[in-house]
Chains A and B, each alone.
Chain A
Amino acid sequence: MTAPAPLADGERPPAAGALDVERLRASFPILAREVHGHRLVYLDNAASAQRPEVVIDAVNDCYRTYYANAHRGVHALSEQSTDAYEAARGKVARFIGAPDSHEVVFTRGTTESLNLVAQSYGRPLLAPGDEVLLTEMEHHSNIVPWQLVCEQTGARVRAAPITDDGELDLEAFAGMLNERTRVVAVTHVSNALGTVNDIPAVVELTRARSDAAVVVDGAQAVPHMTVDVAALGCDFYAFSGHKMYGPGGIGVLWGRRELLTAMPPYHGGGAMITRVTLERSEYAAPPQRFEAGTPAIAPAIGLGVAVEFLESIGLDRIERHEQELLSHTVEVLNDLPWVRVLGQGTEGASPRAAVVSLVIDGAHPHDVATILDEQGVAIRAGHHCAQPLMQRLGVPATVRASFGLYNTHEEVGLLVSSLHEVRRIFG
C-alpha cells in the first residue's frame, strides 16, 4: 500500500467511512485519458456521467456471449437475454424503492419517460381549461412535452416561480394549485442550479388542493442521493441511465401500477400486445404495454449493473463526498470577487446537489469553456436546456461544473486555477 498523497491546498483529510476515491477512479477507464496534454478533469456529470469498467464489461459480455432478442424466442440465448433484462428491471425497482417491478418501464431516457407520461397519462385526461403546473426551473424535457399535450388538448401550462435564491417558491406554488390542475410536473433536482426540491412537500400541497398527478423528473437526483419513490409519494418518477454511470439509450419511468394499468400505450408495435387482428389489438399489461419493439437489452442490463455499482458504494457515502466537494467549491469561488455563483441559496436554504452554476465578470461562458477545455477541464457552458430559468436569473448562459462520485478536491483546485487563467486572458 502506498502512502496517501499529501493533501492539496484546501483539501480535508478523509473522514472515517469516506469514499476511497482513488480506487473508484481506477475503475473508470476514461478518467486516465488526457485532453490537450492535461489530465482530464471531468466536471460535466450533470450532462452525462462516465461508466465504470463493470458496466462496460456487462454490456460487452452481453453482446459477446448471450445476446438475442428478449421475450421472443424459445432458444437458449433468448431465454438468457430475457432473464438478464428482467433481472435488471428488478434491480432498478429495488434501487428506487418501487413496491413492484411491473411499475418500472424501460425507456430511452428521461425525455422519453416524460413524453410517455404526457401522451399516455396526460392526453386522454386533459380538457380545455385544465392546467399543467410546472416550475420555472424545469429542464426543457419537462416543459416541451407538456406544451405539446396542451396544444393537443386545449389545456394550459403554468409555471410556479422560483425565488432569487433559486428555490421553488412553495407558497406561490400552492397558490397556483386548483381543481383544474391535472398534472404537477416538477424536477427533483435542478440540472442548472442543483436545487433539491422538497418533493414530499410538493406532493402534500398538491393532494390537499387538487386531484393532480405528481410527475417528478429525477434525472439529476438518482445518481446523487437515495431515492425512494414510495417515501416521496409522487405518482411518476423519470430518470436516465447515462447520468447514473450506466449506458446511454436507456432510461426509466416508474409509475403507480393503478395509473399505468389505466393508461393507453405510448407506441404501438411488437411486444406490447397480447393479441392482434387486422381490426383491433389487445394490449399487454404494464410494463410491456409501454415497451413496443425490441428494447435496448444490453443497455438495460448495463443499467442494472450500474445500480449494483452505486449500491456497493452506498448513496449516502456518495452524497457526503459530493457535498464536501460542493461546499469546498462554493467556499473558494465565493472568495473570488469576479465570480458570481448562482442560486446557491442562503443559510438555512434547501439542500443542493453537487452542481455549481457561475458567471465571470467580463467573460462569456463559452469563452470560459474553451479556456478550461484547453486545460483539460470539461464543464458545460450555455443555457443547460433551461432557457426559462436563464431568463429568470437574468443571464444568457452560465458556466456549470457538476460533480460525480469520482471527482476529487484536487480537481476542485484545478477548476479554480483554470478559472484564474480565464481571468488572466480576459482581465
Chain B
Amino acid sequence: MSDLRDLYQQVILDHYRAPRNFGSLEPMSACAEGYNPLCGDQVKVYLRTDGEVVDAVTFEGVGCAISTASASLMTEAVRGLERPQAEALIASFLKLMTGDGNGAAGVDLGKLEVLSGVKDYPVRIKCATLAWHALRAALEGGDSETVSTE
C-alpha cells in the first residue's frame, strides 16, 4: 500500500492552495486546452515565447490537487527554457508519470519529482499529465486547441 502522504506532499498541497501563474496571459503566443472527459476537469494553458525562449506560461481551470499542482509546478519549471529544452522536459515528465524509466536522459526534473508518487495511483496519472499535454499542444503552435486525455 502506498502512503497517501507520499502522494499529497506539502509542496503539492501548497501549489494546490496557491497555484502559481494562475490566470490568462496578455500578450500570448499560443494557448491550448486540456480536457479530461472522464472527470470533466479542464485546464487552459497560455504560452508566450520570445524567439526560441519560453518567456511565460500561465494556466487557468478547475481541477483536483494533483492536476492543479502539476500545472502550477509546470509553469515555473518551463519558464526561461529554450523550446527544445521545454519539449525535452515535457517528454521527461510524461515518462516519469508512466513509470517508463526515470525521465529522459539528461533532464533533471528537480522540484517536479514531488509528483512521482502519482505513478502509484494509475487512475490519477491523467490528472498530473493534463496540463503538460496542453502545453505541448501550445508549443506545437496550436491556438485554442483542445487536447483530450482520452
Measured CB to CB, the residues of A under 8 A from B are: 36-37, 362-367, 370-371, 374, 381-383, 387, 390, 396-397, 421, 425-427
By beta carbon, the residue of chain A nearest B17 is A362
A421–B127 Cα distance when bound, in Å, is 21
B40 touching A370, Cβ below 8 Å: no
Complex Cα–Cα for A407 and B98 (A)? 36
- The stretch from B62-70, B83-91, B104-112, B141-149 touching chain A is B62-70
B40 near A383 (CB under 8 angstroms)? yes
CA distance A413 to B64 in the complex (A): 25
* Contact yes or no, A367 B66, CB < 8 A: yes
Interchain CB contact (< 8 A) of A366 among B1, B4, B17, B39? B39
The answer to whether A425 touches B4 (Cβ under 8 A) is yes
- List the B side residues contacting A381 at CB < 8 Å: 39
Q: For B95, what are the chain A residues with a Cβ–Cβ distance below 8 Å?
A: none
Contact pick for A364, options B4, B38, B64, B123, CB 8 Å: B64
- CB contact between B64 and one of A367, A383, A387, A427 (< 8 Å): that residue: A367
A245 to B28, CA, bound (A): 54
B13, B41, B121: the one contacting A370 at CB < 8 Å is B121
B contact residues around A367 at 8 Å (CB): 8, 64-66
B114 in contact (CB, < 8 A): no
Whether B39 and A382, one on each chain, are in contact in the complex, defined by CB atoms closer than 8 angstroms, is yes
Among residues of B, the one whose C-beta sits closest to the C-beta of A387 is B40
* Contact partners of A364 in chain B: CB under 8 A: 63-65, 68
Partner of B38, one of A382, A387, A421, A426: A382
CB distance from A144 to the nearest CB of B (A): 13
Q: Return chain A residues, CB-CB under 8 Å to B63.
A: 364
B7 at interface by CB-CB < 8 Å: yes
A367–B124 Cα gap in the complex (Å)? Answer: 9
- Name 14 interchain pairs, CB-CB below 8 A, sorted by A: A36-B1, A37-B1, A364-B63, A364-B64, A364-B65, A366-B124, A367-B8, A370-B123, A382-B39, A383-B40, A387-B40, A390-B40, A425-B4, A425-B13
Give the residue name and chain of the B residue nearest to A35 (CB).
Answer: B1
Given A364-B63, A367-B64, A367-B65: A374 touches B4 (CB 8 Å cut-off): yes
Q: Complex formed: what's the CA distance from A371 to B127 in Å?
A: 15
A161 vs chain B, min Cβ distance (A): 21
**Chain A residue with Cβ nearest B7:** A370
B residues at A contact (CB < 8 Å): 1-2, 4-5, 7-8, 13, 17, 38-41, 62-66, 68, 121, 123-124, 127
Q: Nearest Cβ in chain A — how far from B16, in angstroms?
A: 8
Contact A397 B40 (CB under 8 A): yes
Complex contacts, A371 vs chain B, CB 8 Å: 4, 8
How far is the CB of B22 from the nearest CB of chain A, in Å? 15
A421 → chain B closest CB, angstroms: 8
The answer for the CA separation of A402 and B60 in the assembled complex, in Å, is 32
Contact (Cβ within 8 A) B40 A382: yes
CB distance from B3 to the nearest CB of A (A): 9
Chain B residues, CB < 8 A from A421: 4
Interchain nearest-CB distance for B71 vs A (Å):
13
Q: Which of A396, A425, A427 contacts B62 (CB 8 A)?
A: A396
In the complex, A383 Cα to B41 Cα: how many Å? 10
From A362, A383, A425, A427, B39 is in contact (CB under 8 Å) with A383
* 9 residue pairs, one from A and one from B, having the closest CB atoms: A364-B64, A366-B64, A383-B40, A396-B62, A367-B65, A382-B39, A367-B64, A425-B8, A36-B1
Docked-complex contact B62 and A366, CB < 8 angstroms:
no
Contacts of B39 in A (CB 8 A): 366, 381-383, 397
Complex interface: chain B residues within 8 A of A383 (CB): 39-40
Given contacts A365-B64, A396-B41, A425-B5, 14 further A-B contacts (CB under 8 A): A37-B1, A366-B41, A370-B7, A370-B123, A371-B4, A374-B1, A382-B38, A382-B40, A383-B40, A396-B40, A397-B39, A421-B4, A425-B8, A426-B65
Counting chain A CB atoms within 10 Å of each CB, the highest count among B4, B38, B62 belongs to B4
**A421→B7 CA distance, assembly (Å):** 14
Whether A363 pairs with B65 at a CB distance below 8 angstroms is: yes
A37 to B50, CA, bound (A): 52
Residue of B nearest to A384 (CB): B40
Residues from chain A with a CB closer than 8 A to the CB of B41 are 366, 396
In the bound complex, what is the Cα–Cα distance between A36 and B13 (angstroms)? 23
Nearest-neighbor residue (CB-CB) of A375 within chain B = B4
| Chain B, Cβ-Cβ closest to A368 | B64
A10 to chain B, nearest CB (A): 26
In this complex, the member of A36, A367, A397 whose beta carbon has the largest number of chain B beta carbons within 10 angstroms is A367
What is the chain A residue whose CB lies nearest that of B40? A383
- Residues from chain B with a CB closer than 8 A to the CB of A382 are 38-40
Q: How far is it, in angstroms, between the C-alpha of A363 and the C-alpha of B65 when the chains are bound?
A: 7
Give CA–CA (A396, B36) in the complex, Å.
12
Interface centre among A37, A364, A397, A426 (most CB of B within 10 A): A364
